[in-house]
Structure 1
Amino acid sequence: MLAHERRGSGPVLVLIHGLGSRRQVWEPIVGALARHREVIALDLPGFGESPAWEPPRPGLAPGSVDHLADLVADFLAGLGVESPELAGNSLGGGIALELGRRGLARSVTAFAPVGFWGPAGRRWCQAVLGGSRALSTALSPALPRIVATRPGRAALCSIFYGRPGRVSAVDCLDSARALSAAPGFAAARRAFGVWRLPVGADPAGLSAIPVTIAWGTRDLVLPHRRQARRALEELPDARHVLLPGCGHLPFADDPERCADLLTVRQ
Protein backbone atom coordinates (compact mmCIF):
# COMPACT_ATOMS: atom_id res chain seq x y z
CA MET A 1 0.00 0.00 0.00
CA LEU A 2 1.33 3.41 -0.95
CA ALA A 3 1.38 6.23 1.58
CA HIS A 4 -1.41 8.62 0.69
CA GLU A 5 -3.95 11.15 1.95
CA ARG A 6 -7.62 11.51 1.01
CA ARG A 7 -9.62 14.71 1.39
CA GLY A 8 -12.86 16.17 0.12
CA SER A 9 -15.76 14.66 -1.77
CA GLY A 10 -16.90 14.39 -5.36
CA PRO A 11 -15.21 12.87 -8.41
CA VAL A 12 -11.90 11.26 -7.51
CA LEU A 13 -8.77 13.20 -8.43
CA VAL A 14 -5.40 11.46 -7.97
CA LEU A 15 -2.23 13.56 -7.59
CA ILE A 16 1.13 12.06 -8.61
CA HIS A 17 4.37 13.86 -7.72
CA GLY A 18 7.68 13.90 -9.58
CA LEU A 19 11.16 12.43 -9.16
CA GLY A 20 12.57 12.92 -5.66
CA SER A 21 9.43 14.69 -4.51
CA ARG A 22 6.54 13.68 -2.23
CA ARG A 23 2.80 14.12 -1.97
CA GLN A 24 3.14 17.31 0.10
CA VAL A 25 4.27 19.21 -3.01
CA TRP A 26 0.55 19.52 -3.86
CA GLU A 27 -0.36 21.02 -0.47
CA PRO A 28 -0.74 24.62 -1.75
CA ILE A 29 -3.73 23.56 -3.88
CA VAL A 30 -5.22 20.55 -2.07
CA GLY A 31 -7.61 22.64 0.03
CA ALA A 32 -9.08 24.33 -3.04
CA LEU A 33 -9.28 21.01 -4.90
CA ALA A 34 -11.01 19.25 -2.01
CA ARG A 35 -13.94 21.65 -2.27
CA HIS A 36 -14.78 20.07 -5.63
CA ARG A 37 -13.11 16.64 -5.66
CA GLU A 38 -12.22 13.67 -3.51
CA VAL A 39 -8.47 14.17 -3.64
CA ILE A 40 -6.00 11.29 -3.27
CA ALA A 41 -2.40 12.52 -3.02
CA LEU A 42 0.06 9.63 -3.01
CA ASP A 43 3.75 8.98 -2.49
CA LEU A 44 5.19 6.95 -5.34
CA PRO A 45 6.99 3.71 -4.41
CA GLY A 46 10.50 4.53 -3.24
CA PHE A 47 9.63 8.15 -2.42
CA GLY A 48 8.17 10.04 0.52
CA GLU A 49 6.71 7.61 3.04
CA SER A 50 5.96 4.80 0.61
CA PRO A 51 7.95 1.56 0.72
CA ALA A 52 10.39 0.56 -1.99
CA TRP A 53 8.78 -0.70 -5.17
CA GLU A 54 8.07 -4.26 -6.13
CA PRO A 55 10.14 -5.67 -9.03
CA PRO A 56 8.79 -4.76 -12.46
CA ARG A 57 7.32 -7.23 -14.90
CA PRO A 58 9.83 -8.66 -17.39
CA GLY A 59 11.12 -6.17 -19.90
CA LEU A 60 10.55 -3.05 -17.80
CA ALA A 61 13.31 -0.95 -16.26
CA PRO A 62 12.95 -0.50 -12.47
CA GLY A 63 11.59 2.96 -11.70
CA SER A 64 10.55 3.66 -15.28
CA VAL A 65 7.29 5.38 -16.16
CA ASP A 66 5.77 2.07 -17.26
CA HIS A 67 6.87 0.31 -14.06
CA LEU A 68 5.55 3.04 -11.76
CA ALA A 69 2.33 3.28 -13.79
CA ASP A 70 1.79 -0.44 -13.15
CA LEU A 71 2.21 0.11 -9.40
CA VAL A 72 -0.07 3.14 -9.29
CA ALA A 73 -2.72 1.25 -11.26
CA ASP A 74 -2.48 -1.64 -8.78
CA PHE A 75 -2.74 0.77 -5.85
CA LEU A 76 -5.86 2.45 -7.24
CA ALA A 77 -7.45 -0.91 -8.02
CA GLY A 78 -6.82 -1.92 -4.41
CA LEU A 79 -8.70 1.19 -3.27
CA GLY A 80 -11.56 0.36 -5.62
CA VAL A 81 -10.93 3.53 -7.64
CA GLU A 82 -11.81 3.18 -11.31
CA SER A 83 -11.12 5.72 -14.05
CA PRO A 84 -10.25 8.71 -11.83
CA GLU A 85 -9.13 12.14 -12.91
CA LEU A 86 -5.33 12.15 -12.83
CA ALA A 87 -2.85 14.97 -12.32
CA GLY A 88 0.90 14.56 -12.37
CA ASN A 89 4.02 16.68 -12.20
CA SER A 90 7.25 15.88 -14.07
CA LEU A 91 7.78 12.11 -13.68
CA GLY A 92 4.25 11.99 -12.27
CA GLY A 93 3.01 13.75 -15.39
CA GLY A 94 4.47 10.98 -17.51
CA ILE A 95 2.83 8.38 -15.28
CA ALA A 96 -0.54 10.14 -15.55
CA LEU A 97 -0.25 10.28 -19.34
CA GLU A 98 0.72 6.62 -19.52
CA LEU A 99 -2.27 5.62 -17.40
CA GLY A 100 -4.49 7.76 -19.61
CA ARG A 101 -3.00 6.11 -22.68
CA ARG A 102 -3.99 2.74 -21.18
CA GLY A 103 -7.60 3.89 -20.81
CA LEU A 104 -7.41 4.08 -17.00
CA ALA A 105 -8.28 7.76 -16.51
CA ARG A 106 -11.28 10.02 -16.92
CA SER A 107 -8.99 12.98 -17.63
CA VAL A 108 -5.29 13.82 -17.37
CA THR A 109 -3.57 17.05 -16.40
CA ALA A 110 0.22 16.96 -16.66
CA PHE A 111 2.37 19.77 -15.27
CA ALA A 112 5.81 19.84 -16.99
CA PRO A 113 5.65 16.14 -17.88
CA VAL A 114 8.68 14.07 -18.79
CA GLY A 115 8.85 12.37 -22.17
CA PHE A 116 8.69 15.32 -24.58
CA TRP A 117 12.43 16.01 -24.49
CA GLY A 118 15.19 15.28 -26.95
CA PRO A 119 18.44 13.63 -25.81
CA ALA A 120 19.98 16.94 -24.69
CA GLY A 121 16.87 17.91 -22.72
CA ARG A 122 16.78 14.54 -20.99
CA ARG A 123 20.43 14.74 -20.02
CA TRP A 124 19.95 18.27 -18.73
CA CYS A 125 17.01 17.19 -16.56
CA GLN A 126 18.96 14.23 -15.19
CA ALA A 127 21.94 16.46 -14.44
CA VAL A 128 19.87 19.15 -12.71
CA LEU A 129 17.98 16.70 -10.54
CA GLY A 130 21.10 14.68 -9.74
CA GLY A 131 22.99 17.85 -8.84
CA SER A 132 20.16 19.07 -6.63
CA ARG A 133 20.11 15.77 -4.76
CA ALA A 134 23.90 15.85 -4.31
CA LEU A 135 23.77 19.44 -3.08
CA SER A 136 20.96 18.71 -0.61
CA THR A 137 22.94 15.76 0.73
CA ALA A 138 26.20 17.70 1.02
CA LEU A 139 24.51 20.62 2.77
CA SER A 140 22.41 18.46 5.07
CA PRO A 141 23.95 19.64 8.38
CA ALA A 142 23.57 23.29 7.38
CA LEU A 143 20.10 23.07 5.80
CA PRO A 144 18.16 24.32 8.85
CA ARG A 145 20.29 27.48 8.95
CA ILE A 146 20.08 27.99 5.19
CA VAL A 147 16.30 27.72 4.94
CA ALA A 148 15.77 29.91 8.00
CA THR A 149 16.46 32.98 5.84
CA ARG A 150 14.57 34.16 2.78
CA PRO A 151 17.76 34.52 0.68
CA GLY A 152 18.81 31.03 1.72
CA ARG A 153 15.46 29.55 0.65
CA ALA A 154 15.64 31.47 -2.63
CA ALA A 155 19.12 30.09 -3.34
CA LEU A 156 18.15 26.51 -2.46
CA CYS A 157 14.72 26.42 -4.10
CA SER A 158 15.06 28.64 -7.17
CA ILE A 159 15.86 25.68 -9.42
CA PHE A 160 12.36 24.31 -8.78
CA TYR A 161 10.22 27.40 -8.10
CA GLY A 162 9.67 30.55 -10.10
CA ARG A 163 8.82 32.39 -6.87
CA PRO A 164 10.93 30.60 -4.22
CA GLY A 165 10.23 33.25 -1.61
CA ARG A 166 6.71 31.83 -1.30
CA VAL A 167 8.04 28.48 -0.04
CA SER A 168 8.08 28.16 3.75
CA ALA A 169 11.22 27.19 5.65
CA VAL A 170 9.56 23.96 6.81
CA ASP A 171 8.52 22.92 3.29
CA CYS A 172 11.92 23.81 1.86
CA LEU A 173 13.76 21.79 4.51
CA ASP A 174 11.44 18.78 4.35
CA SER A 175 11.54 18.69 0.55
CA ALA A 176 15.34 18.88 0.46
CA ARG A 177 15.60 16.03 2.95
CA ALA A 178 13.06 13.95 1.02
CA LEU A 179 15.06 14.47 -2.17
CA SER A 180 18.25 13.32 -0.44
CA ALA A 181 16.68 10.28 1.21
CA ALA A 182 14.49 8.83 -1.58
CA PRO A 183 15.69 5.25 -2.22
CA GLY A 184 13.99 5.12 -5.61
CA PHE A 185 15.73 8.22 -6.97
CA ALA A 186 18.79 6.75 -8.71
CA ALA A 187 16.97 3.99 -10.60
CA ALA A 188 14.08 6.24 -11.65
CA ARG A 189 16.54 8.89 -12.88
CA ARG A 190 18.44 6.29 -14.92
CA ALA A 191 15.18 5.06 -16.47
CA PHE A 192 14.11 8.52 -17.69
CA GLY A 193 15.10 7.85 -21.28
CA VAL A 194 13.06 4.66 -21.58
CA TRP A 195 9.59 6.19 -21.97
CA ARG A 196 8.23 8.41 -24.70
CA LEU A 197 4.57 8.94 -25.37
CA PRO A 198 3.73 6.65 -28.33
CA VAL A 199 2.34 8.81 -31.11
CA GLY A 200 -0.87 7.44 -32.58
CA ALA A 201 -0.79 4.38 -30.34
CA ASP A 202 -3.67 5.16 -28.01
CA PRO A 203 -6.98 5.23 -29.92
CA ALA A 204 -8.88 4.27 -26.77
CA GLY A 205 -6.73 6.33 -24.40
CA LEU A 206 -5.63 9.97 -24.48
CA SER A 207 -7.54 10.77 -27.66
CA ALA A 208 -10.80 9.90 -25.91
CA ILE A 209 -10.43 12.01 -22.74
CA PRO A 210 -9.72 15.65 -21.80
CA VAL A 211 -5.95 16.20 -21.56
CA THR A 212 -4.20 19.33 -20.33
CA ILE A 213 -0.45 19.95 -20.59
CA ALA A 214 0.86 22.88 -18.54
CA TRP A 215 4.36 24.41 -18.49
CA GLY A 216 5.85 27.04 -16.21
CA THR A 217 7.60 29.77 -18.19
CA ARG A 218 10.41 29.87 -15.59
CA ASP A 219 10.93 26.11 -15.42
CA LEU A 220 14.69 25.48 -15.20
CA VAL A 221 14.37 21.68 -14.96
CA LEU A 222 12.30 21.08 -18.11
CA PRO A 223 12.56 24.35 -20.09
CA HIS A 224 9.26 24.68 -21.84
CA ARG A 225 9.96 26.09 -25.29
CA ARG A 226 11.03 22.99 -27.21
CA GLN A 227 9.21 20.52 -25.02
CA ALA A 228 5.92 22.40 -25.20
CA ARG A 229 6.24 22.38 -28.99
CA ARG A 230 6.81 18.62 -29.03
CA ALA A 231 3.85 18.11 -26.70
CA LEU A 232 1.63 20.13 -29.06
CA GLU A 233 2.82 18.05 -32.04
CA GLU A 234 2.14 14.74 -30.29
CA LEU A 235 -1.10 15.76 -28.56
CA PRO A 236 -2.69 18.33 -30.88
CA ASP A 237 -6.16 17.88 -29.39
CA ALA A 238 -5.05 18.56 -25.81
CA ARG A 239 -5.35 21.87 -23.98
CA HIS A 240 -1.85 23.40 -23.86
CA VAL A 241 -1.26 26.04 -21.20
CA LEU A 242 1.62 28.28 -20.13
CA LEU A 243 1.90 29.36 -16.49
CA PRO A 244 3.64 32.75 -16.51
CA GLY A 245 6.30 33.18 -13.85
CA CYS A 246 5.98 29.61 -12.60
CA GLY A 247 8.78 27.11 -12.17
CA HIS A 248 8.93 23.34 -12.36
CA LEU A 249 6.74 23.04 -9.25
CA PRO A 250 4.08 25.66 -10.01
CA PHE A 251 1.68 24.87 -7.18
CA ALA A 252 3.23 27.32 -4.71
CA ASP A 253 4.02 29.83 -7.46
CA ASP A 254 0.40 30.21 -8.66
CA PRO A 255 -1.92 27.98 -6.61
CA GLU A 256 -5.14 29.57 -7.87
CA ARG A 257 -4.32 29.00 -11.54
CA CYS A 258 -3.13 25.44 -10.92
CA ALA A 259 -6.28 24.59 -8.96
CA ASP A 260 -8.44 26.05 -11.72
CA LEU A 261 -6.76 23.85 -14.32
CA LEU A 262 -7.78 20.81 -12.30
CA THR A 263 -11.36 21.78 -11.51
CA VAL A 264 -12.55 23.82 -14.49
CA ARG A 265 -13.12 21.65 -17.54
CA GLN A 266 -11.98 22.86 -20.93
Structure 2
Amino acid sequence: MSATVTFSVDTAQGPRDVSVVHRRAGSGDPVLLLHGIGHHHQAWDPVFSILAAERDVIAVDLPGFGASPALPDGFAYDLAGFVPVLGALCAALDIERPHVVGNSLGGLLALEMGREKLVRTVTALSPAGFWTQAERRYAFGTLLAMHRGASLLPRPAIERMSRSAAGRTALTSTIYARPWRRSPEAVVAETLALRESTGFHETLAAGRTVQLRDAFAMDTDAVPVTVAWGTRDRLLLRRQGVRAKHTLPGARLVRLPGCGHVPMNDDPALVARVILDATA
Protein backbone atom coordinates (compact mmCIF):
# COMPACT_ATOMS: atom_id res chain seq x y z
CA MET A 1 0.00 0.00 0.00
CA SER A 2 1.19 3.51 -0.81
CA ALA A 3 1.21 6.38 1.66
CA THR A 4 1.74 10.13 1.41
CA VAL A 5 4.15 12.18 3.50
CA THR A 6 4.05 15.97 3.55
CA PHE A 7 6.99 18.02 4.77
CA SER A 8 8.37 21.54 4.63
CA VAL A 9 11.32 22.68 2.53
CA ASP A 10 13.01 26.05 2.98
CA THR A 11 13.20 28.29 -0.08
CA ALA A 12 14.21 31.88 -0.76
CA GLN A 13 10.49 32.73 -0.59
CA GLY A 14 10.06 30.95 2.75
CA PRO A 15 8.99 27.40 3.71
CA ARG A 16 6.95 25.43 1.18
CA ASP A 17 5.12 22.15 1.69
CA VAL A 18 5.97 19.21 -0.56
CA SER A 19 4.02 15.93 -0.68
CA VAL A 20 5.50 12.62 -1.82
CA VAL A 21 3.73 9.31 -2.38
CA HIS A 22 5.78 6.28 -1.39
CA ARG A 23 5.64 2.58 -0.62
CA ARG A 24 7.59 1.23 2.35
CA ALA A 25 8.16 -2.30 3.64
CA GLY A 26 10.75 -4.50 5.32
CA SER A 27 13.28 -3.89 8.07
CA GLY A 28 17.01 -3.35 8.36
CA ASP A 29 19.16 -0.70 6.72
CA PRO A 30 17.03 1.86 4.85
CA VAL A 31 17.19 1.81 1.05
CA LEU A 32 15.62 4.66 -0.93
CA LEU A 33 14.54 3.79 -4.50
CA LEU A 34 14.29 6.55 -7.13
CA HIS A 35 12.70 5.97 -10.55
CA GLY A 36 13.42 7.57 -13.91
CA ILE A 37 11.75 10.43 -15.77
CA GLY A 38 8.09 9.80 -16.62
CA HIS A 39 7.96 6.66 -14.47
CA HIS A 40 6.58 5.92 -11.01
CA HIS A 41 7.56 3.91 -7.94
CA GLN A 42 5.95 0.77 -9.36
CA ALA A 43 8.99 0.49 -11.64
CA TRP A 44 10.63 -1.18 -8.64
CA ASP A 45 7.87 -3.76 -8.11
CA PRO A 46 9.84 -6.66 -9.67
CA VAL A 47 12.57 -6.31 -7.01
CA PHE A 48 10.70 -4.64 -4.14
CA SER A 49 9.74 -7.77 -2.20
CA ILE A 50 13.18 -9.34 -2.68
CA LEU A 51 14.84 -6.25 -1.24
CA ALA A 52 12.28 -5.88 1.55
CA ALA A 53 13.17 -9.34 2.84
CA GLU A 54 16.53 -7.88 3.94
CA ARG A 55 16.18 -4.09 3.97
CA ASP A 56 13.83 -1.28 4.98
CA VAL A 57 12.81 -0.31 1.45
CA ILE A 58 11.18 2.98 0.47
CA ALA A 59 10.15 3.44 -3.18
CA VAL A 60 8.99 6.96 -3.96
CA ASP A 61 7.11 8.80 -6.66
CA LEU A 62 9.34 11.79 -7.32
CA PRO A 63 7.50 15.14 -7.14
CA GLY A 64 5.71 15.75 -10.41
CA PHE A 65 5.66 12.04 -11.28
CA GLY A 66 3.42 9.12 -10.48
CA ALA A 67 0.90 10.06 -7.81
CA SER A 68 3.08 12.76 -6.22
CA PRO A 69 1.91 16.35 -6.80
CA ALA A 70 4.09 18.78 -8.70
CA LEU A 71 6.70 20.81 -6.88
CA PRO A 72 5.38 24.12 -5.50
CA ASP A 73 5.89 27.34 -7.44
CA GLY A 74 9.46 28.55 -7.22
CA PHE A 75 11.03 25.08 -7.25
CA ALA A 76 13.13 24.02 -10.21
CA TYR A 77 13.14 20.47 -11.55
CA ASP A 78 16.93 20.36 -11.55
CA LEU A 79 19.55 18.95 -9.20
CA ALA A 80 19.55 22.06 -7.06
CA GLY A 81 15.78 21.78 -6.68
CA PHE A 82 15.32 18.03 -6.31
CA VAL A 83 18.17 17.12 -3.95
CA PRO A 84 17.12 19.34 -1.00
CA VAL A 85 13.60 17.95 -1.36
CA LEU A 86 14.95 14.40 -1.17
CA GLY A 87 17.04 15.32 1.86
CA ALA A 88 13.94 16.75 3.58
CA LEU A 89 11.98 13.64 2.58
CA CYS A 90 14.54 11.42 4.33
CA ALA A 91 14.22 13.53 7.48
CA ALA A 92 10.41 13.32 7.32
CA LEU A 93 10.59 9.53 6.98
CA ASP A 94 13.11 9.38 9.86
CA ILE A 95 15.83 7.75 7.77
CA GLU A 96 19.28 9.21 8.28
CA ARG A 97 21.72 8.74 5.42
CA PRO A 98 19.97 5.83 3.70
CA HIS A 99 21.43 3.78 0.93
CA VAL A 100 20.04 5.21 -2.31
CA VAL A 101 19.35 3.34 -5.53
CA GLY A 102 18.30 5.21 -8.66
CA ASN A 103 17.51 4.42 -12.27
CA SER A 104 18.11 6.93 -15.10
CA LEU A 105 17.01 10.32 -13.69
CA GLY A 106 16.90 8.59 -10.30
CA GLY A 107 20.50 7.46 -10.79
CA LEU A 108 21.57 11.04 -11.50
CA LEU A 109 19.78 12.21 -8.34
CA ALA A 110 21.35 9.37 -6.34
CA LEU A 111 24.84 10.41 -7.46
CA GLU A 112 24.18 14.02 -6.50
CA MET A 113 22.89 12.91 -3.09
CA GLY A 114 26.12 10.93 -2.73
CA ARG A 115 28.22 13.94 -3.67
CA GLU A 116 26.39 15.91 -0.97
CA LYS A 117 27.06 13.01 1.48
CA LEU A 118 23.34 12.66 2.23
CA VAL A 119 23.50 8.88 1.80
CA ARG A 120 25.60 5.87 2.84
CA THR A 121 26.03 4.29 -0.59
CA VAL A 122 24.90 4.98 -4.14
CA THR A 123 23.73 2.39 -6.65
CA ALA A 124 23.03 3.99 -10.04
CA LEU A 125 21.35 1.93 -12.76
CA SER A 126 21.93 3.55 -16.17
CA PRO A 127 22.25 7.03 -14.62
CA ALA A 128 21.65 10.10 -16.77
CA GLY A 129 24.41 12.59 -17.47
CA PHE A 130 27.30 10.60 -18.95
CA TRP A 131 26.27 11.31 -22.53
CA THR A 132 27.75 13.19 -25.43
CA GLN A 133 25.56 16.00 -26.76
CA ALA A 134 24.51 13.79 -29.68
CA GLU A 135 23.57 10.97 -27.31
CA ARG A 136 21.62 13.39 -25.12
CA ARG A 137 19.68 14.71 -28.10
CA TYR A 138 18.87 11.15 -29.17
CA ALA A 139 17.70 10.18 -25.66
CA PHE A 140 15.64 13.35 -25.20
CA GLY A 141 14.09 12.98 -28.65
CA THR A 142 13.15 9.40 -27.82
CA LEU A 143 11.62 10.42 -24.50
CA LEU A 144 9.62 13.19 -26.14
CA ALA A 145 8.32 10.76 -28.76
CA MET A 146 7.31 8.30 -26.02
CA HIS A 147 5.51 11.06 -24.11
CA ARG A 148 3.76 12.30 -27.25
CA GLY A 149 2.67 8.78 -28.15
CA ALA A 150 1.31 8.13 -24.66
CA SER A 151 -0.53 11.47 -24.77
CA LEU A 152 -2.15 10.81 -28.14
CA LEU A 153 -3.32 7.25 -27.47
CA PRO A 154 -6.79 7.01 -25.92
CA ARG A 155 -6.91 4.89 -22.77
CA PRO A 156 -9.02 2.14 -24.43
CA ALA A 157 -6.32 1.81 -27.11
CA ILE A 158 -3.58 1.54 -24.46
CA GLU A 159 -5.58 -1.13 -22.62
CA ARG A 160 -6.20 -3.04 -25.85
CA MET A 161 -2.52 -2.95 -26.85
CA SER A 162 -1.37 -4.05 -23.41
CA ARG A 163 -3.28 -7.33 -23.68
CA SER A 164 -0.84 -8.74 -26.24
CA ALA A 165 2.92 -9.28 -26.12
CA ALA A 166 3.23 -7.35 -29.40
CA GLY A 167 1.30 -4.42 -27.97
CA ARG A 168 3.34 -4.35 -24.76
CA THR A 169 6.47 -4.41 -26.90
CA ALA A 170 5.25 -1.48 -28.99
CA LEU A 171 4.50 0.54 -25.86
CA THR A 172 7.59 -0.20 -23.74
CA SER A 173 10.41 -1.75 -25.81
CA THR A 174 12.44 1.46 -25.58
CA ILE A 175 13.02 0.93 -21.85
CA TYR A 176 12.73 -2.85 -21.47
CA ALA A 177 14.70 -5.56 -23.25
CA ARG A 178 11.91 -8.03 -22.38
CA PRO A 179 8.75 -5.89 -22.50
CA TRP A 180 6.44 -8.89 -22.75
CA ARG A 181 7.30 -9.73 -19.13
CA ARG A 182 5.40 -6.69 -17.89
CA SER A 183 1.80 -7.40 -16.96
CA PRO A 184 -0.93 -5.68 -18.99
CA GLU A 185 -1.97 -3.75 -15.86
CA ALA A 186 1.59 -2.52 -15.27
CA VAL A 187 1.98 -1.37 -18.89
CA VAL A 188 -1.29 0.56 -18.77
CA ALA A 189 -0.34 2.19 -15.45
CA GLU A 190 3.14 3.24 -16.55
CA THR A 191 1.92 4.56 -19.91
CA LEU A 192 -0.64 6.71 -18.10
CA ALA A 193 2.02 7.78 -15.58
CA LEU A 194 4.22 8.97 -18.44
CA ARG A 195 1.38 10.88 -20.03
CA GLU A 196 0.29 12.52 -16.77
CA SER A 197 3.74 13.47 -15.42
CA THR A 198 3.38 17.12 -14.49
CA GLY A 199 7.14 17.47 -14.07
CA PHE A 200 8.14 15.81 -17.35
CA HIS A 201 8.87 18.79 -19.58
CA GLU A 202 10.52 20.93 -16.88
CA THR A 203 12.76 18.01 -15.83
CA LEU A 204 13.73 17.33 -19.44
CA ALA A 205 14.51 21.01 -20.00
CA ALA A 206 16.71 21.09 -16.88
CA GLY A 207 18.58 18.02 -18.13
CA ARG A 208 19.94 19.85 -21.16
CA THR A 209 22.70 21.37 -19.03
CA VAL A 210 23.70 18.15 -17.25
CA GLN A 211 27.08 16.81 -18.34
CA LEU A 212 28.52 14.77 -15.48
CA ARG A 213 31.31 13.26 -17.53
CA ASP A 214 33.06 16.64 -17.83
CA ALA A 215 33.57 17.23 -14.11
CA PHE A 216 31.99 15.35 -11.24
CA ALA A 217 34.10 15.33 -8.09
CA MET A 218 32.87 12.76 -5.59
CA ASP A 219 34.50 11.01 -2.64
CA THR A 220 33.79 7.35 -3.42
CA ASP A 221 35.75 6.31 -0.35
CA ALA A 222 33.30 8.13 1.91
CA VAL A 223 30.27 7.12 -0.18
CA PRO A 224 30.81 3.87 -2.12
CA VAL A 225 29.30 3.95 -5.61
CA THR A 226 28.09 1.11 -7.81
CA VAL A 227 27.15 1.87 -11.42
CA ALA A 228 25.27 -0.83 -13.34
CA TRP A 229 24.37 -0.77 -17.03
CA GLY A 230 22.21 -3.06 -19.13
CA THR A 231 23.88 -4.46 -22.22
CA ARG A 232 20.65 -3.85 -24.18
CA ASP A 233 19.96 -0.31 -23.00
CA ARG A 234 18.44 1.45 -26.03
CA LEU A 235 17.97 4.83 -24.38
CA LEU A 236 21.27 5.57 -22.63
CA LEU A 237 23.75 3.45 -24.53
CA ARG A 238 25.97 1.15 -22.52
CA ARG A 239 29.20 2.90 -23.54
CA GLN A 240 28.08 5.67 -21.20
CA GLY A 241 28.81 3.26 -18.35
CA VAL A 242 32.48 3.26 -19.36
CA ARG A 243 32.45 7.06 -19.22
CA ALA A 244 30.89 6.88 -15.77
CA LYS A 245 33.73 4.63 -14.64
CA HIS A 246 36.33 7.03 -16.07
CA THR A 247 34.59 9.95 -14.32
CA LEU A 248 34.32 8.01 -11.04
CA PRO A 249 37.35 5.71 -11.05
CA GLY A 250 36.60 4.59 -7.50
CA ALA A 251 33.16 3.33 -8.49
CA ARG A 252 32.32 -0.32 -9.14
CA LEU A 253 30.99 -0.87 -12.68
CA VAL A 254 28.64 -3.83 -13.14
CA ARG A 255 27.41 -5.25 -16.44
CA LEU A 256 23.77 -6.39 -16.60
CA PRO A 257 23.60 -8.93 -19.45
CA GLY A 258 20.41 -8.88 -21.49
CA CYS A 259 18.91 -5.94 -19.58
CA GLY A 260 17.45 -2.74 -20.97
CA HIS A 261 17.27 0.78 -19.61
CA VAL A 262 14.95 -0.17 -16.73
CA PRO A 263 16.64 -3.45 -15.77
CA MET A 264 14.52 -4.32 -12.73
CA ASN A 265 11.90 -5.85 -15.00
CA ASP A 266 14.31 -7.69 -17.30
CA ASP A 267 16.28 -9.59 -14.64
CA PRO A 268 14.86 -8.98 -11.15
CA ALA A 269 17.10 -11.55 -9.45
CA LEU A 270 20.30 -10.07 -10.89
CA VAL A 271 19.33 -6.47 -10.15
CA ALA A 272 18.24 -7.33 -6.60
CA ARG A 273 21.56 -9.09 -6.00
CA VAL A 274 23.52 -6.07 -7.27
CA ILE A 275 21.54 -3.79 -4.94
CA LEU A 276 21.87 -6.08 -1.91
CA ASP A 277 25.61 -6.47 -2.49
CA ALA A 278 26.06 -2.71 -2.90
CA THR A 279 24.10 -1.93 0.26
CA ALA A 280 25.60 -4.68 2.42
2:248 corresponds in structure 1 to 235
CA distance in 1, matches of 2:98, 2:232: 30
The residue that corresponds to 2:122 in the other structure is 108
Structure 2, unaligned runs of 5 or more: 1-5, 7-19
1:50 is matched with which residue?
Answer: 68
Query: Which residue in 2 is equivalent to 1:14?
Result: 32
Percent identity (aligned): 41
Give, in angstroms, the shift of residue 55 of structure 1: 4.3
1:197-216 mapped onto 2 (5 Å cutoff): 197=212, 199=215, 201-203=217-219, 206-216=220-230
Aligned to 2:232: 218
- Contact preservation (8 Å) 2:135, 2:236: yes
Which residue is equivalent to 1:81? 95
**CA displacement at 1:200 relative to structure 2:** 5.8
Query: Which of 188, 191, 215 is matched with 1:173 structurally?
Result: 188
Residue of structure 1 in register with 2:3 after alignment: none
Cα deviation per residue 1:170-201 (whole Å; 9 max; x = unaligned)?
Answer: 00010000000111000001111233337363
CA distance in 2, matches of 1:97, 1:175: 25
CA positional deviation for 1:239: 0.8
Q: Does 1:148 align with 2:163?
A: yes
Structure 1 residue 202, shift from structure 2 partner: 3.2
Cα deviation code 1:201-248 (max 9, x no counterpart): 334xx44222110111111110111x1121011111111011111111
The one-letter code matched in structure 1 to 2:186 is: D
- Asked if the contact 1:111/1:213 (under 8 Å) is kept, the reply is yes
Flag the 1:56–1:201 CA change in 2: closer, same or farther, 3 A.
farther
Q: CA deviation at 1:154?
A: 1.3
Indicate if the aligned counterparts of 1:3 and 1:50 stay in contact, CA closer than 8 A. Answer: yes
Distance 2:136 2:222 in 1: 28
In the TM superposition, 1:119-134 aligns within 5 A as 119-134=133-148
Instruction: Check the 8 A contact 1:221/1:248 in 2, yes or no.
Output: yes
Asked whether the equivalents of residues 100 and 121 of structure 2 are also in contact (C-alpha less than 8 Å), the reply is yes
Query: Which residue is equivalent to 2:58?
Result: 40
Query: Which of the numbers 164, 167, 177 marks the counterpart of 1:162?
Result: 177
Instruction: Give the Cα separation in 1 of the matches to 2:185 and 2:237.
Output: 27
Paired position in structure 1 for 2:131: 117
* Aligned equivalents of 2:112, 2:271: Cα separation in 1: 21
Counterpart residue number, 2:49: 31
Deviations 1:54-84 (A, max 9, x none): 3456xxxx21133111211111112221110
Q: Do the aligned partners of residues 81 and 196 (structure 1) sit closer, same or farther apart at CA in structure 2, a change above 3 Å counting? A: farther
For the aligned residues, what is the CA RMSD?
Answer: 1.5
Structure having greater relative contact order (Cα 8 Å, sep ≥ 6): 1
SS of corresponding position for 2:69: coil
Shift, 1:134, TM fit: 0.5
More displaced 10-residue stretch of structure 1: 87-96 or 137-146:
137-146
Q: Give the secondary structure class of the aligned counterpart of 2:31.
A: strand
What are structure 1's unaligned runs of at least 5 residues?
Answer: none
> Which aligned segments of 4 or more residues in structure 1 are displaced greater than 2 angstroms?
54-57, 193-203
Counterpart secondary structure, 2:255: strand
Query: Are the aligned partners of 2:218 and 2:248 in contact in 1 as well (CA < 8 Å)?
Result: no
Inter-partner Cα distance in structure 2 for 1:171 and 1:7:
20
Provide the rounded CA distance (Å) in 1 between the counterparts of 2:32 and 2:230: 21
How much has 1:259 moved relative to structure 2? 0.3
**What TM-score do the two structures reach when normalised by structure 2?**
0.89
Query: Do the aligned residues in 2 keep the contact of 1:16 with 1:43 (CA within 8 Å)?
Result: yes
Amino acid at match of 2:253: H
User: 1:118 & 1:167 partners in 2: Cα distance?
Assistant: 31
Q: What secondary structure sits across from 2:229 in the alignment?
A: strand
Aligned residues: 259
1:70 maps to which residue? Answer: 84
Provide, for residues 78-102 of structure 1, a one-character-per-residue CA deviation record: whole Å limited to 9, x for no partner. 2221110000000000000000000
Q: Take 1:55 and 1:255, find their aligned partners in 2: how far apart are those partners?
A: 38
Higher helix proportion, which one? 1
Q: Matches of 2:79 and 2:142 in 1, distance apart?
A: 19
Corresponding position of 1:260: 273
